[in-house]
Amino acid sequence: MTSVRICIVGTGYVGLVTGACFADVGHDVVCVDNDSAKVALLREGGMPLYEPGMEEIVQRTVKAGRLRFTASIAEGVAHAQVVFIAVPTPPQSDGSVDLSYIEKVAREIAACLTSPKIIVDKSTVPVKTGEKVAETIQRYCPHRTDFDVVSNPEFLREGCAVADLMKPDRIVIGVTSQRPVPTMRDVYAPFEAPIIVTDINSAELIKHAANSFLALKISYINAVAAVCEASGANVQEVANGIGMDRRIGRAFLNPGIGFGGSCFPKDLRAFIKIAEQLGVDFRLLKEVQAVNAAQMDRFLRKITDTLWVLKEKRIGVLGLAFKNNTDDVRMSPAIALCERLLAEGATVRAHDPRAMDKARSLLPGVEFIEDMNEVAEGCDALVIATEWDDFKHLDLDRARASMTHPIMFDGRNLFDPVEMERLGWVYRSVGR
- Annotated active-site positions, please? 263
Among 252, 282, 307, 423, binds ligand UDX (CB under 6 A): 252
CA distance 207 to 125: 8
For residue 284, what are the CA distances in angstroms to 289, 291, 295?
9, 11, 17
CA distance 34 to 418: 54
CA distance 262 to 358: 14
Q: Is 148 in the site for ligand UDX (CB under 6 A)?
A: no
Among 260, 316, 353, 431, binds ligand UDX (CB under 6 A): 260
Among 69, 84, 322, 388, binds ligand UDX (CB under 6 A): 322
* Beta bridge pairs of residue 407: 426
Burial of 311 (0-12, 13-18, 19+ CB in 10 A): exposed
Q: Is 259 in the site for ligand UDX (CB under 6 A)?
A: yes
Burial 336-361 (b: 16+ CB within 10 A, else e): bbbebbbebebbbbbbbbbbbebbee
Question: Per-residue string for binding with ligand UDX, 157-176, x by CB under 6 A?
Answer: xx------------------
Q: Which positions from 384 through 403 interact with ligand UDX, judged by CB under 6 A? A: 387
The nearest distance, CB 211 to ligand UDX, in angstroms, is 6
The nearest distance, CB 193 to ligand UDX, in angstroms, is 14
Among 25, 214, 233, 248, binds ligand UDX (CB under 6 A): 214
Nearer to ligand UDX, 26 or 48 (CB): 48
The nearest distance, CB 75 to ligand UDX, in angstroms, is 29
**The 117-121 sheet, strands edge to edge:** 67-70, 28-32, 5-9, 82-85, 117-121, 147-151, 171-175, 195-199
Among 211, 219, 402, 429, binds ligand UDX (CB under 6 A): 211
Among 9, 203, 263, 303, binds ligand UDX (CB under 6 A): 263
Residues engaged in binding ligand UDX (CB under 6 A) = 154-158, 211, 214, 218, 252-254, 256, 259-261, 263-264, 322-323, 387
